[in-house]
Structure 1
Amino acid sequence: MAAPPAPLPSELDDGSDLRSLLERVEEGLTAFLARERGRQEAVTPHEADPARAVAELVRSGGKRIRPRFLLSGYLAAGGTPGERPVRAAMALELLHTAALLHDDVMDDAALRRSVRTAHTWHADLHRARGWRGEPRRYGESMAVLAGDLAWAYADHLIADLSPEVSREWFELKTELIAGQAMDVAASAAALADAELARRIAVLKSGRYTVHRPLVLGALLAGRADLASGFAGYGDALGEAFQLRDDLIDAFGDPEAAGKPTGADARAGRTTLLTALAVRREPRSPGWVSAARTAPPDRGRAGATAHAAVEARIAALLARARQCLADAPLSPEWRRRLAVTAAAAVYRDR
């Protein structure tokens, strides 16, 4: 199995300029969500249930990797600290929150960031109070509404920044939905296709996690000329980021990950890891949709696929670094983004 290059940073490379902006994003999210929750609670408690779910998921933590890349793109493009990039970074984190709330319903996930998911919490509340109807349906409905609300918050925060940012934002959202739809359909059809898995990874994670956030940051700084270099770096790194997620789900430590692992195999999800394992051992039960309750197969097929995915991650990281070398960036930002790339793909959660 391929080992990551050494030494690797244990944290993403945050200079004081980036740390300061990220702190403003956290403060802004806390204040905005408290204000929205209070405004809705003033009418009726149940009106505030979706706002409460959004605030609790944001407060539970997360890597904030999308805001980090947006702000990195902004600073690398010569932007100076201000309100516009902070609002855009807040919007991106809230869009990610919307996606997670919906993901957890689609995946029937019980935990997210080591706490109960919104739909399970609301289902338990329904049972405890003896309300009418199905607890599961109630919980899922409230989580979907919370996701919709987080999406509305995101659109509100990014509105009126600039026509160029609006167009990029639209592309980001449509690609995210397209990737999710492909993922759901491929899982239902039990398709173990490596090229399809790559396309899903690029759309579902690659562009939404790295490529589009970086370009949004560059556009906010008035540097549309950086879009091409950021696109190449972002697509390669974003795909590698998703592949690491796939490996963590299959072979990671649930405690470190903050959620149960093995969900991809149980759901018959189309990932490069599963596609390569099935190609190696077509009847390997841990990787096909018929074995949705089985843990991932960690035998020969799984080990071979694991090594192949690690090699793909290393190749994608090298490609991302080459795109940085070719981009019109300062040496300092080439270095910082290269360090960030390594930290983003060699992680355990």
Structure 2
Amino acid sequence: MTSSHMSPVSFVRPMIDTELAAFVASRRPLLLKIGAELEPVLAALDTMINGGKRLRPTFCYWGWRGAGGREEPGLYTAAAALELLQACALIHDDVIDNSDTRRGRPAMHRRLAALHRDSGWHGDSEQFGRGAAILLGDLCLAWCEDMYQSSALPPEALAAGRVPFDLMRTEVMAGQYLDLVEQARGADTVDAALRVMRFKSAKYTVEQPLHLGAALAGRHAELASAYTAYGIPLGVAFQLRDDVLGVFGDPEETGKPAGDDLREGKRTVLVAETLRRAGRADAEEFRRLLGDPDLGPEEVAWMRSLIADSGALEACEARIADYVADATRALENDAIADDARSALADLIVAATARKH
């Protein structure tokens, strides 16, 4: 049980950090034996996995506790494997979006492009950075599998966890593809944005980690519906909040320049609501600017004003509140152990609180 002064994330994080550091350290000699050139790649990976909220391992842990699981070192190893999956997803996502930064630092492909440039190597530095980042993301995906399988949980528990563990990897890749398709189509409907959000974020961030925890504890069949009723609305609310912060958030908090989601042309619910509510001329101008990587501060300010003045921001806040209410009601299910129910309630606040 969490102590009164410790959040559910803070309670889990030290063990996850320890497991990740130990796993990467165990793989380091193998990579360096292959070639000393891999040292800067390992350094880049260390930087990547040392940041982040650790939400997916946290939901896995409390999914386990909600299923009656007790302290078990192997559980932390299996849960920490989700951070390597997250590293893969973020590295690839930044390549796809051509993002410059991640968590306040250069995105992985930018960092590896700088390695090429600073080393004076032949060829195009940006192309090298993208290729190297894709390979590092692939390595993280492979290591995610290795780390899960190497955890000290009983074989029958790991086998039971296979269904959600494998499914979440498929869903997040499929959700990423849907995101690409919707951007290519220029889709700007709320329904299209919500479908991407469900698979790329909600199921991957909250629902499937909870299912994994329940499966590892041997109670997936009993708790699957309760965890879905909680996980999907919370996962959508979390992504809606992230989308709001992507436009209105403090760069010191988000680690990205203000309005970066607008420069990247992300087809979010916030954007869809704006286009639906704005007048025709404003909507056309908004569409014209959306996705322009060279948007200046004045253009970003105008787009933000339109989002707010059209009522789109208020509509997204209302959606977040509704989804939070749905997730909160789902915790009334007595099948979830009491101490986990309290932690999962705290996680609703942690995942959706305003930070702007």
Relative to the length of structure 2, the TM-score reads: 0.88
How has the CA–CA distance of structure 1 residues 142 and 12 changed in structure 2, closer, same or farther, with 3 Å as cutoff?
A: farther
- Match of 2:353? 346
Structural mapping, 1:193-212, within 5 Å: 193-212=189-208
Structure 1 unaligned regions, length at least 5: 1-10
- The answer to whether structure 1 residue 235 and structure 2 residue 226 are counterparts is no
Structural mapping, 1:145-294, within 5 Å: 145-159=135-149, 161-224=157-220, 225-281=222-278, 282=280, 283-284=282-283, 287-288=286-287, 290-291=289-290, 292=292, 293-294=294-295
What amino acid maps onto 1:298 in structure 2?
R
- The answer to whether structure 1 residue 24 and structure 2 residue 18 are counterparts is no
Aligned residues with identical type, % of pairs: 36
What amino acid maps onto 2:139 in structure 1?
L
Of 116-125 and 278-287, more deviation after overlay is shown by 278-287
- Match of 2:74? 84
Relative to the length of structure 1, the TM-score reads: 0.90
Distance 2:352 2:237 in 1: 6
Of 299-308 and 167-176, more deviation after overlay is shown by 299-308
- Number of equivalent positions: 335
For the residue of structure 2 that corresponds to 1:79, the secondary structure is coil
Distance 2:276 2:19 in 1: 48
* RMSD of Structure 2 on Structure 1 (CA): 2.1
- Match of 1:13? 7
Alignment partner for residue 332 of structure 2, among 321, 325, 331?
Answer: 325
Give the Å deviation of 1:239: 0.4
How has the CA–CA distance of structure 1 residues 233 and 327 changed in structure 2, closer, same or farther, with 3 Å as cutoff?
A: farther
Distance 1:264 1:167 in 2: 33
Give the Å deviation of 1:49: 4.4
- Match of 2:152? none
How has the CA–CA distance of structure 1 residues 143 and 221 changed in structure 2, closer, same or farther, with 3 Å as cutoff?
A: same
Give the Å deviation of 1:114: 1.3
How has the CA–CA distance of structure 1 residues 341 and 37 changed in structure 2, closer, same or farther, with 3 Å as cutoff?
A: same
Q: Do 2:271 and 2:307's aligned partners in 1 also have CA atoms closer than 8 Å?
A: no
Structural mapping, 1:79-118, within 5 Å: 79-118=69-108
For the residue of structure 2 that corresponds to 1:41, the secondary structure is helix
Give the Å deviation of 1:130: 2.1
Q: Do 1:229 and 1:327's aligned partners in 2 also have CA atoms closer than 8 Å?
A: no
Of 206-215 and 112-121, more deviation after overlay is shown by 112-121
Q: Do 2:63 and 2:340's aligned partners in 1 also have CA atoms closer than 8 Å?
A: no
Alignment partner for residue 64 of structure 1, among 29, 54, 69?
Answer: 54
Distance 1:122 1:193 in 2: 36
Give the Å deviation of 1:14: 2.3
- Superposition misfits of 4+ residues, deviation over 6 angstroms: none
Alignment partner for residue 117 of structure 2, among 113, 119, 127?
Answer: 127
Distance 1:130 1:162 in 2: 46
Q: Do 1:49 and 1:142's aligned partners in 2 also have CA atoms closer than 8 Å?
A: no
